[in-house]
Structure 1
Amino acid sequence: MSFGTPNNPYGPGQNPQQGYGYPQQQPGYPQAPQGVPPQQGYGYPQQPGYPGYPQQGGYGMQPNYANWGQRVLSKLIDGALYMVVYLPIAIIGEKAGVPILGLISFVAMIGVIIWQVIQEGKTGQTVGKKVVGTRTLKEDTGQPLGGGMAFVRQLAHFLDGLPCYLGYLWPAWDAKRQTFSDKVCGSIVIRSQ
């Protein structure tokens, strides 16, 4: 005597398309194709390994924070980029006696700064951070900040300069390598390589 589906020669709970021992496909519930990982539902916590944090063994692990030297080097590279955009046009304008070129070079530099803030918001990296191998992310999610919060973070850097520029030195001994503006904005700078 057989129980289950009368026309199933493989026995109850057997399906030749899915292999031995797998339950049959339930009607009304689509099954994921073979080789496709299952997706998590809305109630699951986001894993910090995608896309911001490098994978380090599981959920709740500390990211690899960028050290103070890496942060300073990325700022110096970004500053050099601004000067490369600004100085040549401004010097040519001054030597040629065309003051409008100084204004044009200033506007170009502001444009590069805005572009850098947008890039940091979208990808977590400015040109300097990309060269050094660091990125700025939200501390709680591991995702890039977004354009608005990246702009707020840049404005909040005034906090780093208030007590004798102590906030800029703070990452040298802070456990999460954060400046005061990072603490206020909930951001961290990690090594991406």
Structure 2
Amino acid sequence: MSYGDPNNPYGQPQQPPQQPGYGYPQQGGQQPYGYPQQPPQGVPPQQPGYGYPQAPQAPAGYGYPQQAGYGVQPPYANWGQRFLGLLVDVLVFAPCYIVIAIGGVSKIWALVIVGYLAVFGVAIWQLIKEGQTGQTVGKKALGIRLVRESDGQPLGVGMAFVRRLAHFLDSLACYLGWLWPAWDAKRQTFADKVCSSIVIRTN
């Protein structure tokens, strides 16, 4: 007597076909249902949340405060601050000129030479400070700084020297360029416009 299929000569009941995906591995390397899929060989597993490129962060206005709706607006120094800073820078040379005057009156020419050498030394020192830090003695005392308009960084010694030479433009037409920051939108002299520089407040 046979069991199952009468065409089976051995009398063994046939096993029902296995359904893929119910806890048994499939043939051909396919993953069954319910098991985590493994990435292909040589491909690193994808981390969650890393499927989209991140947008680069833009610089926040080179240290200038952000004005809502108007982009980057640096805090320009006003004409009064610039004038007082220049006045302090002139007074820095006062001891040198006093030495020159004493030497000239007393005919001690060595003092005159020392005085002029001191003027030259102070001028170079002020130029280096302005180029590297944006501040002379007067600018630092008034809380203002000379910077590049493009990125808010100091001009550098070379460009600071060029700006000083460009001040001859401010002396033309009855010194109009020196007064220009009083009403200019960016508080610039003619030399500032030529050198693309601005003077900003630091406090």
Pick the TM interval, shorter chain: 0.7 to 0.9
Amino acid at match of 1:62: Q
**Number of residue equivalences:** 161
SS of aligned partner of 1:141: coil
Match in the other structure for 2:8:
none
**CA shift at 1:92, angstroms?**
3.9
Is 1:153 aligned to residue 160 of structure 2? no
SS at match of 1:135: strand
Find the counterpart in structure 2 of residue 100 from structure 1: 110
Contact in 2 for aligned 1:125/1:136 (Cα 8 Å): yes
Q: Could you say which residue in structure 2 is the equivalent of 1:48?
A: 61
Runs of 5+ unmatched residues, structure 1: 6-10, 14-20, 24-39
CA distance in 1, matches of 2:60, 2:153: 10
Q: Residue 121 of structure 2: which of 111, 114, 117 is its match?
A: 111
Q: Which stretches in structure 2 are left out of the alignment for 5+ residues?
A: 1-34, 40-44, 51-55
* Distance in 2 (alpha carbons) for counterparts of 1:160 and 1:94: 32
RCO higher in 1 or 2 (8 Å CA, sep ≥ 6)?
A: 1
Q: Deviations over 1:123-142 (max 9, x none)?
A: 11101000000001111121
User: What is the aligned partner in structure 2 of residue 141 from structure 1?
Assistant: 151
Overall identity of the aligned pairs, in %: 51
**Pair 45,117 (structure 1): closer, same or farther in 2 beyond 3 Å:** farther
TM-score normalised to structure 1 length: 0.73
Query: C-alpha offsets along residues 66-123 of structure 1, whole Å, 9 cap, x if unaligned?
Result: 0000000000000000112x13422443455311211111111111111111111111
When Rg is computed on C-alpha atoms for both structures, the one with the higher figure is 2
The amino acid that maps onto 1:49 is Y
| Aligned residue type for 1:117 | L
1:1-20 matched pairs, under 5 angstroms: 1-4=35-38, 13=47
Q: Normalising by the residue count of structure 2, what TM-score does the alignment of the two structures yield?
A: 0.70
Residue number among 121, 129, 132 corresponding to 2:142 in the alignment: 132
Alignment partner for residue 76 of structure 1, among 83, 87, 102?
A: 87
